[in-house]
């Protein structure tokens, strides 16, 4: 249940809003700027993972294992556990 709620909150809800309402202001200069910023943040994240000697696959594997063992190692899991007791 926790794994499903994590996936829904992180991926499905934003995709639903993009599908339902479209890109808020259309494809204009602000949209391209925002996409550029997201790309730079992604590159910084990948560099961070590289510096720490890990990969995004290892991060997802660790997250999956923590959910299976019912450990609350991420902020989202801790919030869900405190609010819903799951």
Interval 46-76: pLDDT, tens: 999 999 998 888 888 888 888 788 787 777 7
Containing structural domain, residue 67:
2-84
Is-contact 66 6, C-beta < 8 A? Answer: no
CA distance 22 to 68: 35
Contact 39, 46 (CB under 8 A): no
Return the pLDDT at 24.
65
- Using CA atoms, how far apart are residues 49 and 32, in angstroms rounded to an integer? 26
The whole-model pTM stands at: 0.56
List pLDDT tens digits, range 27-50: 677 778 888 899 999 999 999 999
- Cα 25 from chain centroid? 23
8-state DSSP, 46: H
What is the tally of structural domains in the chain? 1
């Amino acid at each position: 249940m926790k794994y499903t709620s994590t996936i829904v909150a992180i991926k499905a809800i934003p995709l639903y809003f993009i599908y339902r309402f479209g890109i808020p202001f259309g494809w204009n200069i602000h949209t391209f700027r925002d996409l550029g910023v997201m790309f730079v943040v992604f590159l910084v994240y990948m560099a961070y993972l590289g510096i720490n000697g890990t990969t995004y696959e290892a991060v997802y594997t660790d997250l999956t294992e923590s959910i299976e063992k019912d450990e609350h190692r991420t902020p989202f899991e801790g919030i869900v556990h405190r609010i819903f007791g799951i």
